[in-house]
Amino acid sequence: MPTSQEHIFGLDARRVALVLGWFEASARDLPWRQPDCSAWGVLVSEVMLQQTPVARVLPAWEEWMKRWPTPGHLAAASQADAVRAWGRLGYPRRAKRLWECARVLVDRHGGEVPADADTLLSLPGVGDYTASAVRAFAFGERAVVLDTNVRRVLARVWGGEPLPATSVRAGERQLAERVTPLDPASAAAWAAASMELGALICTARAPRCEECPVASSCAWFAGGRQGLEEAPRRTQAWHGTDRQVRGRILALLREADAPLIVEGRTALADVEPGQVESCLESLLADGLVALVDAERGLVALA
């Protein structure tokens, strides 16, 4: 590598080394990080962890892996079984996609999770982030992993910004590529370490800069931690939203474990009938719920 590039990478390398050192001493002991965790276990964890905190995912992941330790086990179950087991993790379409993914893995890939990026991206429910995470954490490959936590670390430490932009920009991807170590094992460790730093220390609204291993080299910290107060909050109202009502309908169907008429039920008495109807229609359109008897209005988990 030319000397000029070595000079450019000098500060990057120091920052990365500080974060890696912290991670080695402080990483949470999570089952999907264990050396004996299968690629399937890693994939399941990444799907579950999308917009869901570790504390909620951990028991669900352990139960899921006990019940369906391989794609073949899940593929042999029904979609309704998968959605029912998803419980209250939220965004139940993830359960449907994971079940569909298991069937594709069995039908086209011998029941194994592939390491190839393009093949991973062809799987149901697998996007750029999940494919990169599986390649890094399951196969130890050099992959640029960009989740919300990593993006926040990059924005603050390198960019001096309180929070990253709403969507990933080209410059951000270039920065992430630049700071990711070339060695595959170090790159995978950096992906996990930067993610952990963002989740535990460099949090969105209450960063613990006094505990941060890279605070002395952080551009945002050096600039006085400006702008966080003015940054728009990205929290979304929950009570009364279609997401909440959809979840309540699915909970009813899970608990009943049998077809039932959703509309007019006492458990949904506080919801406008029109919202119940529209949410039920969206669940039907998403394939999470099936119409068992149209004349009577009986529905069940698909």
Residues with catalytic roles: 46
Instruction: Name 112's Cβ contacts closer than 8 Å, sequence gap at least 6.
Output: 39, 71, 105
What is the rounded CA–CA span in Å between residue 196 and residue 202?
9
Instruction: Name 192's Cβ contacts closer than 8 Å, sequence gap at least 6.
Output: 23, 27, 33, 136, 137
Tokens 């990711």 sit at which residue?
Answer: 180
| Count of residues making up the chain | 302
List the structure tokens of 186.
Answer: 């170090």
- Helix, strand, coil shares of the chain, percent, nearest 5, are 60, 5, 40
What is the rounded CA–CA span in Å between residue 81 and residue 28?
30
Tokens 């009570």 sit at which residue?
Answer: 239
